[in-house]
């Protein structure tokens, strides 16, 4: 120091203390050792000067810096001491020579000196997470900076950056900066957990759900959604609704801690009068309600709600529904909560779509199986019907008992086909058909009985396949005589709603069939089929002259829509002029 030892001694108060930098034996002999604070470096002087009892600083001659250097050290020390990040000076043995206030605060050693302590010990021996698992050794060995992340007690995460410095005496030290990255790490972990949860939601493995019914699959998905929202995102009040696009209705799928009245409330995808849920479904945008009492859109899901967060379930730019969470605390949801819920909502939408596809796939497979069985039995059953009515014709008036047994055979054979059809319909659940796909425009075809007469087996099979998908009951015959017997045995007017026949049959023409059927039915619900330009007997012209509707002609190969239109034409005629048996008066009028 520039001052003499006597001046230093005189300037000290009775309770004052002296900071000593360097060798303490250089101090004046009359200074009590208990009033001396020893520091290792000049920069540590600034940190020690925080104590109000300090009266002065003694710097040994060999530690004496230039005045400008000391001023620079003082200014640097003040900045380092008050930095929001932790800063430490370490020796090559990882002992802390000096630490600023923030690092001391994180270490929890406000009243314990940090000088001389191991750095890792200072932070409760944290786990080194990398990328460099020996950052201090690496920095000293390579003379390059090194970075790593530490996981400390209390689930805190710190990022450390070590930079080597070389002193004039060739000793090696490290300047270490420490940043608290707990919030960033925890958010990254939460995002990773949400993505993993989303993958598990949609990972409905065939081995796990093969034997599940549709409702069981939906319950499994609902439980997984509830689990992740509650345990992972800490949302306790949850409601998910699915959008019926045909009606705009928002149907409840999952309700957790939601009042029953609120759960049963009917909501639509409309921005007004349907709460935040309706607004989000209509706009496709998320909505944060910070204060339910001052939000005009909010309709409470529970009486204790004070804030809410609602996100749309979107897949391929289409809104599938909404997911809503509520809290008893006002302004409880942050931007991070919104981000997490939107990410999870996309995963939920994908899982719902996957579930629908799996349900549709199962239903389609079941329907294909039933169709295959029905197709395999349809033609043989028709053969049974043809043979039975042919035999029955010979016994009518001779053996009533045989006729009754044949009628039972006919009834049972028809039941076989109808049972297979009904099983196929039951095995195709409504959940497999997206809302709005089922159309009522073909409802008039259901349960209508149609007789198709053609010698071509492929035509008869096509008629089964095309018409039965709309719920029609189809029977076929190969010849005109068989068709007459089928109509007669079926009860005449109470039998077939539509009769479709080729204009050229093995035994007679389609027109001749129409005339023979006219003896049984007053108005024959007839449709004639022909190839383009093929009508050698002028059957169609003659049939039209005898009552065939102008639209009731099919040209082979016919298209499905053409066949449906023609069948509907006949059904409309039946409404205005119901079918009935031909009476004696009808026969006299035609003759």
254-302 pLDDT per residue, tens = 888 888 888 888 999 999 889 999 999 999 999 999 998 889 898 877 7
Average pLDDT over residues 313-319: 88
Q: What pLDDT is stored for residue 268 in this prediction?
A: 94
Q: What pLDDT is stored for residue 567 in this prediction?
A: 92
The answer to whether residues 464 and 571 belong to one domain is yes
Q: What pLDDT is stored for residue 454 in this prediction?
A: 93
Pairing type for strands 36-39 and 17-21 reads parallel
Instruction: Give the three-state DSSP class for 385.
Output: helix
CB within 8 Å of 571: residues ≥ 6 apart: 444, 445, 448, 497, 498
Average pLDDT over residues 116-136: 88
Q: Return d(Cα 17, Cα 324) in angstroms, integer.
A: 64
Q: Return d(Cα 250, Cα 320) in angstroms, integer.
A: 9
In-domain check, residue 284? yes
| Average pLDDT of the chain to the nearest whole number | 78
**Does the pLDDT at position 430 exceed 90?**
no
In-domain check, residue 434? no
Full DSSP string of 67-125: HHHHHHHHHHHHHHHT-SSEEEEEETTSBEEEE-HHHHHHHT-TTS--TTSBHHHHTTS
In-domain check, residue 410? no
The answer to whether residues 443 and 581 belong to one domain is yes
Q: Return d(Cα 326, Cα 542) in angstroms, integer.
A: 76
Average pLDDT over residues 226-246: 80
In-domain check, residue 352? yes
pLDDT in tens, 300-309: 777 888 999 9
In-domain check, residue 460? yes
Q: Return d(Cα 446, Cα 424) in angstroms, integer.
A: 15
- The tokens describing 373, both together, are 């069985």
402's enclosing H/E stretch is: helix 400-426
Q: What pLDDT is stored for residue 490 in this prediction?
A: 76
In-domain check, residue 130? yes
Choose between 165 and 280: higher pLDDT.
280
Q: Return d(Cα 108, Cα 99) in angstroms, integer.
A: 12
φ, ψ for residue 72, nearest 5 deg: -60, -40
Which CATH number covers residue 333?
3.30.450.40
The answer to whether residues 72 and 91 belong to one domain is no
Q: Return d(Cα 150, Cα 148) in angstroms, integer.
A: 7
Instruction: Give the three-state DSSP class for 504.
Output: strand
CB contact at 8 A, 45 and 39: yes
The answer to whether residues 106 and 22 belong to one domain is no
Which CATH number covers residue 103?
3.30.450.20
Instruction: Give the three-state DSSP class for 169.
Output: coil
353's enclosing H/E stretch is: helix 335-395
Average pLDDT over residues 203-218: 58
The answer to whether residues 204 and 347 belong to one domain is yes
Q: Return d(Cα 310, Cα 518) in angstroms, integer.
A: 68
The answer to whether residues 133 and 164 belong to one domain is yes
Choose between 77 and 2: higher pLDDT.
77
Q: Return d(Cα 323, Cα 545) in angstroms, integer.
A: 66
Least confident of 110-119, 315-324, 559-568: 110-119
The answer to whether residues 170 and 198 belong to one domain is no
- The tokens describing 533, both together, are 């330009």
**Does the pLDDT at position 562 exceed 70?**
yes
Q: What pLDDT is stored for residue 525 in this prediction?
A: 93
- Which pairs with CB-CB distance under 8 Å and at least 24 residues apart come from 353-362? 353/315, 353/320, 354/202, 354/204, 355/204, 355/217, 355/218, 355/221, 356/431, 356/432, 356/434, 358/204, 358/209, 358/217, 359/214, 359/217, 359/429, 359/431, 359/432, 360/432, 360/433, 362/214, 362/432
Q: What pLDDT is stored for residue 67 in this prediction?
A: 43
Q: Residue 434: which pLDDT band, with cuts at 50, 70 and 90? A: very low
Q: What pLDDT is stored for residue 584 in this prediction?
A: 58
Ranges 200-204, 360-364, 495-499, most confident = 495-499
Closest Cα partner for 100 from 78, 121, 119?
Answer: 78
Average pLDDT over residues 362-371: 60
**Does the pLDDT at position 69 exceed 50?**
yes
Distance, C-alpha 28 to centroid of its chain: 80
Q: Return d(Cα 101, Cα 90) in angstroms, integer.
A: 15
- Which pairs with CB-CB distance under 8 Å and at least 24 residues apart come from 576-582? 577/523, 578/493, 579/493, 579/494, 579/497, 579/521, 579/522, 579/523, 579/525, 580/493, 580/521, 580/522, 580/523, 581/492, 581/493, 581/520, 581/521, 581/522, 582/492, 582/518, 582/519, 582/520, 582/521, 582/522
- The tokens describing 359, both together, are 């349900």
The answer to whether residues 174 and 298 belong to one domain is no
Domain boundary among 82, 101, 118: 82
Q: Return d(Cα 529, Cα 363) in angstroms, integer.
A: 35
Q: Residue 436: which pLDDT band, with cuts at 50, 70 and 90? A: very low
Q: Return d(Cα 524, Cα 517) in angstroms, integer.
A: 7
Instruction: Give the three-state DSSP class for 250.
Output: strand
| Length, in residues, of the chain | 591
Q: What pLDDT is stored for residue 7 in this prediction?
A: 55
**Does the pLDDT at position 589 exceed 70?**
no
Residue 157 DSSP symbol: E
pLDDT in tens, 506-541: 999 999 999 999 888 888 999 999 876 666 677 888
Q: Residue 483: which pLDDT band, with cuts at 50, 70 and 90? A: very high
**Does the pLDDT at position 553 exceed 70?**
yes
- The tokens describing 64, both together, are 């004496």
- Maximum distance among all alpha carbons in the chain? 154
The answer to whether residues 479 and 524 belong to one domain is yes
Q: Residue 432: which pLDDT band, with cuts at 50, 70 and 90? A: very low
Q: What pLDDT is stored for residue 450 in this prediction?
A: 93
**Does the pLDDT at position 346 exceed 70?**
yes
Q: What pLDDT is stored for residue 2 in this prediction?
A: 45
Percent of the chain's residues with pLDDT above 70: 74
**Does the pLDDT at position 390 exceed 70?**
yes
**Does the pLDDT at position 359 exceed 80?**
no
Least confident of 163-172, 232-241, 244-253: 163-172
Q: What pLDDT is stored for residue 168 in this prediction?
A: 61
| Rg of the chain taking only CA atoms, in angstroms | 46
Average pLDDT over residues 44-63: 71
Q: Exposed, middle or buried: residue 392 (CB in 10 Å: 0-12, 13-18, 19+)?
A: buried
Q: Residue 66: which pLDDT band, with cuts at 50, 70 and 90? A: very low
The answer to whether residues 199 and 344 belong to one domain is yes
In-domain check, residue 320? yes
- Give me the number of domains the chain comprises: 4
Least confident of 1-5, 379-383, 447-451: 1-5
Q: Residue 331: which pLDDT band, with cuts at 50, 70 and 90? A: very high
Q: What pLDDT is stored for residue 284 in this prediction?
A: 94
Choose between 315 and 506: higher pLDDT.
506
For the chain, the distance separating the N- and C-terminal CA atoms, rounded to the nearest angstrom, is 145
Q: What pLDDT is stored for residue 131 in this prediction?
A: 86
**Does the pLDDT at position 68 exceed 70?**
no
CB contact at 8 A, 110 and 104: yes
Domain boundary among 141, 159, 180: 180
The answer to whether residues 197 and 293 belong to one domain is yes
pLDDT in tens, 407-428: 788 777 777 777 766 665 555 4
What residue numbers bound the domain in which 20 lies? 1-82
Average pLDDT over residues 125-134: 88
Q: Return d(Cα 524, Cα 498) in angstroms, integer.
A: 8
Which CATH number covers residue 472?
3.40.50.2300
Domain boundary among 309, 340, 360: 360
The answer to whether residues 47 and 4 belong to one domain is yes
Q: What pLDDT is stored for residue 522 in this prediction?
A: 84
Pairing type for strands 86-91 and 172-180 reads antiparallel
Percent of the chain's residues with pLDDT above 90: 18
**Does the pLDDT at position 345 exceed 80?**
yes
In-domain check, residue 243? yes
């Amino acid at each position: 120091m520039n001052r003499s030892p006597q001046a230093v001694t005189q300037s000290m108060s009775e309770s004052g203390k002296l900071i000593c930098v360097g060798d303490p034996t250089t101090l004046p002999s009359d200074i009590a050792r208990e009033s001396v604070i020893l520091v290792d470096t000049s920069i540590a002087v600034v940190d020690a000067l925080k104590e109000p009892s300090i009266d002065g600083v003694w710097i040994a001659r060999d530690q004496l810096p230039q005045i400008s250097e000391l001023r620079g050290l003082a200014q640097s020390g003040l900045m380092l001491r008050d930095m929001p990040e932790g800063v430490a000076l370490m020796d090559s043995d990882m002992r802390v020579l000096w630490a600023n206030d923030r690092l001391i605060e994180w270490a929890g050693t406000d009243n314990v000196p940090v000088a001389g302590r191991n750095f890792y010990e200072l932070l409760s021996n944290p786990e080194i997470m990398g990328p460099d698992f020996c950052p201090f050794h690496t920095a000293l060995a390579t003379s390059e900076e090194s970075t790593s992340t530490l996981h400390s007690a209390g689930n805190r995460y710190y990022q450390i950056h070590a930079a080597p410095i070389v002193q004039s005496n060739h000793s090696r030290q490290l300047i270490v900066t420490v940043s608290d990255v707990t919030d960033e790490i925890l958010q990254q972990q939460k995002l990773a957990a949400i993505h993993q949860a989303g993958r598990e939601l949609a990972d409905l493995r065939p081995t796990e759900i093969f034997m599940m019914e549709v409702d069981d699959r939906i319950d499994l998905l609902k439980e997984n959604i509830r689990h992740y929202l509650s345990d992972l995102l800490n949302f306790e009040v949850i409601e998910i609704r699915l959008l019926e696009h045909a009606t705009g209705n928002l149907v409840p799928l999952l309700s957790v801690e939601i009042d029953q009245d609120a759960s049963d409330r009917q909501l639509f995808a409309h921005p007004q009068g349907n709460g935040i849920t309706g607004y989000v479904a209509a706009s496709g945008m998320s909505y944060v309600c910070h204060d339910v009492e001052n939000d005009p859109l909010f309709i409470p899901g529970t009486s204790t709600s004070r804030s809410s967060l609602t996100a749309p379930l979107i897949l391929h730019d289409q809104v599938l529904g909404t997911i809503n969470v509520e809290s008893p605390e006002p302004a409880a949801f942050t931007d991070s909560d919104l981000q997490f819920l939107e990410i999870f909502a996309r995963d939920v939408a994908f899982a719902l779509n996957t579930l629908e596809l799996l349900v549709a796939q199962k239903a389609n497979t079941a329907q294909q199986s039933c169709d295959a069985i029905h197709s395999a039995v349809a033609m043989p059953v028709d053969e049974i019907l043809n043979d039975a009515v042919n035999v029955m014709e010979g016994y009518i008036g001779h053996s009533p008992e045989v006729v009754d047994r044949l009628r039972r055979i006919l009834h049972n054979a028809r039941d076989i086909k109808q049972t297979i059809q009904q099983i196929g319909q039951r095995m195709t659940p409504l959940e497999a058909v997206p809302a709005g796909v089922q159309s009522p425009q073909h409802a008039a075809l259901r349960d209508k009985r149609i007789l198709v007469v053609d010698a071509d087996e492929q035509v008869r099979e096509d008629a089964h396949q095309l018409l039965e998908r709309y719920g029609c009951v189809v029977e076929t015959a190969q010849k005109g005589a068989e068709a007459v017997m089928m109509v007669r045995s079926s009860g005449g007017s109470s039998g077939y709603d539509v009769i479709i026949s080729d204009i050229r049959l093995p035994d007679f023409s389609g027109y001749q069939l129409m005339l023979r059927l006219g003896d049984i039915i007053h108005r024959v619900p007839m449709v004639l089929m022909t190839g383009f330009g093929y009508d050698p007997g002028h059957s169609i012209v003659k049939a039209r002259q005898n009552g065939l509707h102008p639209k009731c002609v099919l040209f082979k190969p016919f298209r499905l829509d053409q066949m449906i239109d023609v069948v509907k034409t006949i059904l409309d005629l039946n409404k205005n002029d119901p079918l009935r048996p031909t009476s004696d008066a009808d026969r006299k009028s035609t003759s």
